[in-house]
């Protein structure tokens, strides 16, 4: 199953408390919570390029399954991570005490980030 495509954010749960826990300032949280977000994923075998555009902010990450890479977080910080593939439709990474799971089901991507007992979920649909 290929992740390649453009996806528009449909809904998100626990955005504000999760971003607060990450240390994002309130003004950025307020600006970011209602902005349309588009994710573009290009998958070439085990290599992935992910570009997330939220308003004027563009985040770009590239990684290869099973290899250490630098991942840019929502806060702008770059951290080392290893992304693993579970089955043929789930990407999993542990980044700075957070577990990130991206699951593709048909035309819908569900991205879940868990930190302690706090979970942030984003649901995006292929456009």
Which domain covers residue 84, as residue numbers?
A: 5-126
The token pair at 77 is 């910080």
The average pLDDT across 46-69 equals 94
Q: Say if residues 59 and 74 touch (Cβ distance below 8 Å).
A: yes
Q: What is the pLDDT of residues 114-126, one digit of tens each?
A: 999 999 999 999 9
The CATH number of whichever domain residue 112 belongs to comes to 2.40.128.20
The average pLDDT across 1-7 equals 94
Question: Residue 75: is its pLDDT beyond 90?
Answer: no
For the chain, the domain total comes to 1
Q: Chain-wide mean pLDDT for the chain?
A: 93
The average pLDDT across 47-61 equals 92
């Amino acid at each position: 199953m290929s992740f390649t495509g453009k996806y528009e954010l449909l809904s998100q749960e626990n955005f504000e408390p999760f971003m607060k826990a990450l240390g994002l300032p309130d003004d950025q949280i307020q600006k970011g919570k209602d902005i349309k977000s588009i994710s573009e994923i290009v998958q070439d075998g085990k290599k992935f390029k992910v570009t997330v555009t939220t308003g004027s902010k563009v985040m770009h990450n590239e990684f290869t399954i099973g290899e250490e890479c630098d991942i840019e977080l929502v806060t702008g910080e770059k951290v080392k991570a290893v992304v693993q593939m579970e089955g043929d439709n789930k990407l999993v990474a542990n980044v700075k005490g957070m577990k990130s799971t991206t699951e593709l089901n048909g035309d819908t991507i569900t991205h879940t980030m868990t930190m302690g007992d706090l979970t942030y979920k984003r649901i995006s649909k292929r456009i």
